[in-house]
Amino acid sequence: MVYVFWNKESNNGKAAEAKAELEKVFEGQELNFFDVKEIKNAAEICKDFNNSDKIIIAGGDGTLSRFVNDIYELHLQNEIYFYTCGTGNDFINDIRERCEISNNLIPMNEFIKSLPVVTVNNEKHYFINGIGYGIDGYCCEEGDKLRALSDKPVNYAGIAIKGMLGKFKPCGGSVTVDGVTSRYKKIWLAPTMIGRYFGGGMKITPDQDRLNAEHLVSNCVFHDSGMLKTLMVFPSIFKGGHVSHKDIIEIKTGHEVKVEFDKPCALQIDGETYTNITSYSVSYK
């Protein structure tokens, strides 16, 4: 049996095409589809599967992250695949060269065997890409507002530029990595990553390896730059070129990371937005 957990709303509704495509890929096999918007917890369904059953997650990074959080502690022995039909696809960008992709199906077992956990407002979440805090969280917050008003694709780059031009107000804060704290007067970005990409293709932590044996995450702080320099450097994040600006970009790796802002700011975990957040902490052991 092949069980498919899919999000019909991914990629502005185009994910519905995934059903027909998957039926072609698994022609002759029995497929059972579950709409992730209609189930409370995938673990309640998956716990009764036979080990020989295959599991497909069809959607974007958000769908994948939600599913993984549901089933992570079951330690399933089933073959699990990701069928990408979302818009951001930061996970795909990161692992494209790490595995063989056939029929748009990505074998997931290796990538979800060990994941870091983030704590926000005393709630814990496993994450597959990273935590965005600062203008990245702001962009997700504004994007959510636009999606509520229209089904048109959201231009996150445009939101970011408007934010840097004045709508987003950076503030001071501190970052603690494995017990060592650094203080900054003005923080534009302070993400912590298990992968290299966030924000729909930004290579924010170019040297991060999600399969590193040491279980290290990377924290990147974009700090203490004026509006003009921020606007000049920001586009270089898409190819990872921002790391050369060491006066305003600082990347550290560790097992424990805590980020604290002087005022509340939006935050995103694998694309899911949380508002009015003053701090988050990450642990990866």
Higher pLDDT, 102 or 110: 110
pLDDT in tens, 260-280: 999 999 999 998 999 999 999
DSSP state of 211: T
- The CATH number of 117-283 is 2.60.200.40
User: In Å, how far are 197, 251, 263 from 177, measured between CA atoms?
Assistant: 20, 10, 20
Provide mean pLDDT across the span 187-203.
Answer: 94
Q: What percent of the chain has pLDDT over 70?
A: 96
The 3-state DSSP composition of the chain as helix, strand, coil percent (nearest 5) reads 30, 35, 35
Report whether 138 contacts 168 (CB < 8 A): yes
Q: State CA 238 to chain mean position distance.
A: 15
pLDDT tier at 21, thresholds 50, 70, 90: confident
Provide mean pLDDT across the span 214-235.
Answer: 96
Nearest-angstrom CA–CA distance, 266 and 116: 20
CATH 2.60.200.40 segments of the chain: 117-283
Q: Which residue's entry shows tokens 């990595």?
A: 177
Fold of 2-107: Rossmann fold (3.40.50)
Nearest-angstrom CA–CA distance, 177 and 101: 35
Q: How many CB atoms lie within 10 A of CB 231?
A: 14
Nearest-angstrom CA–CA distance, 133 and 273: 10
CA dihedral 60, 127, 73, 282 (to 10 degrees): -170
Nearest-angstrom CA–CA distance, 172 and 149: 32
Residue 13 has pLDDT above 60, yes or no: no
Provide mean pLDDT across the span 145-165.
Answer: 84
Look up the pTM and report it.
0.92
Residues 6 or more apart whose CB falls under 8 angstroms from that of 47 comprise 74
Work out the burial of residue 44: count CB atoms within 10 Å of its CB; fewer than 13 is exposed, 13-18 middle, 19 or more buried.
exposed
Nearest-angstrom CA–CA distance, 233 and 283: 29
Provide mean pLDDT across the span 19-30.
Answer: 88
pLDDT in tens, 69-92: 999 999 999 999 999 876 668 999
Residue 179 has pLDDT above 90, yes or no: yes
CATH 3.40.50.10330 segments of the chain: 2-107
